[in-house]
Amino acid sequence: MVYPADFEIKTGFDIIRRMVTGFCLSEPGKTEAGLLHFSSAREEVEQWLIQTEEFRQITLFEEHFPSQDYYDLTPALQQIRIPGTYLEPELLSELRLSLITIAAILQFLEKNRERYPALHRLRNDFEGVPEIPGTIRVLTTHIFNVIDERAQVRSTASKELSEIRRDMDKTRARIEKRVMQIFRTARDSGWTPDDAEVTVRDGQLVIPMINTHKRKISGFVRDESATGHTVYLEPAEMLEMNNDLRELALAEHREIIRILTLLADEIRPWNPALLQAYLFLGRIDFIRAKALFANETGAVLPIITGGSGFSWRQAVHPLLYLKHKPLKKTVVPLDITLDSQSRILVISGPNAGGKSICLKTVGLLQYMVQCGLLLPLKEDSEICLFEDIFIDIGDEQSIDNDLSTYTSKLLNTKYFIEHLHQRSLFLIDEMGTGTDPSLGGAIAEASLEAMTETGAFGVVTTHYSNLKLLAGRIPGVVNGAMLFDSKKMKPLYKLQIGAPGSSFAFEIAENIGFPEQVLKAASGKTGQGQLDFHRQLQDLEVERQEVSKKNTAVRVADEFLSELIAKYENLNKELETSKKTILAEAKAEAARLLKESNRMIEKTIREIRESQAEKEKTKEVREELTKFKETVIAKAPEQKPAEAPPRKKIIPTAPVTPASPYKSYMDDLNRKLLQFELTLDIRGKRVEEAYSLVQRYIDDAILLSLPEVRILHGKGNGVLRQVTRDYLKSVREVKKVQDERLESGGAGITVVIFH
């Protein structure tokens, strides 16, 4: 249970709910986000958290999890429950794409069942879903055989439809041919404006005629220009052919409905399983949204303990974090522990020092985790679950209920005392304020004592000294202070547990230029000793924090220096060892070469003597000695200074594997396909610009393996049309180039058909 009814608004959770909803891709996912709720059931909350953490891992480390075509076809499936009903081609196309996505998700989870067991088990929450991939393969194949990529019924869907459309094409061709003949006759006779072309009005091909010549051709005026100078005439002889075309269109429509009705009959038996599949897709979408929100706020899965109390390290208010993030400002993290020895924390300190933010952070994060959301804190933080969370934050003054702020706080306190127990967490901001301080403080003290007796956990902020003194008197109550730098006169927004904080009322008043004589009078009434005590206590804590920071810095520097010295000593040892080895090898090689050289020289001298210094023999022996010398030089090691052995390269292990070139290529293709328009408009462009646009457009179309595209260049003087056609002739992948049908734009549009 949470109290009061507007708990989510008071803590800011309503904003977080909207953010999670914004990450959802489907309506069922958004519905799930709207049902996000508090739970105290450990097994349920653990399941929510682990599912979200597994999906967070997927978003970080997996490349191919489906993240598009999350359409909700639930209304459409409910629509065809009645025999004889059918789905429009656009809905069938979305049905096919979304079923492919569902099948891909199920396949991914099955393949990675060991890595993501909680998400894999999620399938079992929806009846028939584990067995549905086979059904999806059958249905998507049937739909694809009927509906093409442009959400149109294929001509091959039935023999009758193919014949009807073939007759329609023939009839259109006859109509176009005859209209063009009549138009050329009218143009040659001077009955049409100079720049006129056959156009379409009310779905019919018409000929622009100068008003004064409209009687020259028998027909029906379908429209006229704004000036009335030009009328658009449908030749009378076209009436019968157009009627034939209309009848064929009606026959086409009847056949399409028949085909779609048969397809709906195939889908209908699978409706129950398909409806469950879309609920499954919505749940996956919702969990994905929670994981994306976790990434946005730097949230992780903490340790879930079975005991009471919690210990949070480096906890951050997520909304404050998101507010500061674009400004590159950091949020001072919160370290807080509540356990059996320190169940109730009384936080004191100056106004605007962060007491309320600290309180709201505790309330919001505890509520978030029990709604199944990951938390922005260190992974080794420990969390527990409470059965109830009660808060008293903000001014509850109400004209409608005739309640003052203090009366409202008293009512909340009364409710807390009556309902708190050992599995409760209560949070009270500025306890006891709103009335006479001496009386309000006494009631607040007695109330806090009563709450302590319930065994509940709590966080309270206050300026009352008597509440600070409870820490040493009542077991389970501990003080906390929001630190304040009295020298720089600025809050540090850091919670320090163990000692009370000062409100620094006099220092803050002095800093803003409050009248000195008034402060002196107030000091006399309060007693300088009390002021000095609070100031010195706070200053000592701030100084302790500074000394701690410096000690940490010195320790880190010392450890770094020690590491460098150790590395140097190891390197030096390696150098000495390498040096000795190299010298020993060099000496041995030198001794060998010297011995071999001496032997060769002695042999040479002996041969010269034995030959009694014959010139030819002496010359031959000397040449042999020279060759030996060259061989020795080639074998001798090059004299280089000793080098250090190569150091081992330490490669840090990254949690994310870099994307492969193939993956990057496929991502680019997917983006291009999603953004690609099937018609390129180059009207009004200069020739050079139009040529460049067409060239890039055709390259992209070939890359994406599209069957056909259209280039809208208009009719005009025909320059852009000619430039486009000339370029297309040079592209070998282009199979055919033709004008669009007259009723769809005629010669103003070039249809490009690829192999």
Give the pLDDT confidence of 384-401 residue by residue, as tens digits: 999 999 999 875 544 344
Q: What is the mean pLDDT of residues 151-164?
A: 96
**Which of 14-28, 218-232, 256-270 has the weakest average pLDDT?**
218-232
Q: Which pLDDT belongs to residue 152? A: 95
Confidence of residue 30 (pLDDT cuts 50, 70, 90): very high
- β-partners of residue 233 are 207, 221
Residue the block writes with tokens 């996000």: 36
Beta strands in 110-257 (DSSP E): 199-201, 204-210, 219-224, 230-235
More confident: 429 or 624: 429
At 356-367, the pLDDT tens digits run: 999 999 999 999
Q: Which pLDDT belongs to residue 507? A: 58
In the chain, DSSP finds a helix count (H) and a strand count (E) of 23, 19
- β-partners of residue 3 are 390
**Which of 65-69, 320-324, 621-625 has the weakest average pLDDT?**
621-625
At 554-607, the pLDDT tens digits run: 777 777 777 778 777 787 787 778 777 877 776 676 666 656 665 665 566 566
- β-partners of residue 657 are none
Assess whether pLDDT exceeds 60 at residue 740: yes
Confidence of residue 684 (pLDDT cuts 50, 70, 90): confident
C-beta of residue 259 within 8 angstroms of C-beta of residue 157: yes
**Interatomic CA distance for residues 199 and 236, integer angstroms:** 16
Strand, coil or helix: 673: helix
On average, the pLDDT of the chain sits at 84
**Interatomic CA distance for residues 51 and 279, integer angstroms:** 16
**Interatomic CA distance for residues 242 and 509, integer angstroms:** 91
Intra-chain end-to-end CA distance of the chain, in Å? 66
Confidence of residue 333 (pLDDT cuts 50, 70, 90): very high
C-beta of residue 110 within 8 angstroms of C-beta of residue 122: no
Residue the block writes with tokens 């806090």: 448
From residue 34, alpha-carbon distances to 17, 21, 230, 391 in Å are 7, 7, 59, 22
* Residues whose CB falls within 8 Å of the CB of residue 712, separated by 6 or more in sequence, listed in order: 679, 680, 681, 682, 683, 745, 748, 749
> For residue 148, with 0-12 CB atoms within 10 Å meaning exposed, 13-18 middle and 19 or more buried, which class applies?
middle
Q: 313: part of which helix (H) or strand (E)?
A: strand 310-315
**Interatomic CA distance for residues 578 and 586, integer angstroms:** 12
Omega within 30 of 0 (cis) for the link into 4: yes
How many C-beta neighbours within 10 Å does residue 596 have?
14
At 284-297, the pLDDT tens digits run: 999 999 999 999 99
- In total, the chain counts a number of residues equal to 755
**Interatomic CA distance for residues 656 and 672, integer angstroms:** 25
Q: Which pLDDT belongs to residue 651? A: 35
**Which of 50-54, 432-436, 588-592, 611-615 has the weakest average pLDDT?**
611-615
**Interatomic CA distance for residues 479 and 70, integer angstroms:** 51
From residue 608, alpha-carbon distances to 619, 621, 624, 632, 741 in Å are 10, 8, 12, 22, 107
Assess whether pLDDT exceeds 70 at residue 610: no
How many C-beta neighbours within 10 Å does residue 360 have?
21
pTM of the entire predicted model: 0.69
C-beta of residue 413 within 8 angstroms of C-beta of residue 419: no
**Interatomic CA distance for residues 379 and 73, integer angstroms:** 39
C-beta of residue 379 within 8 angstroms of C-beta of residue 300: yes
CA torsion sign, 187 to 192 to 197 to 203?
A: negative
Residue 34 DSSP code? H
Amino acid at 94: E
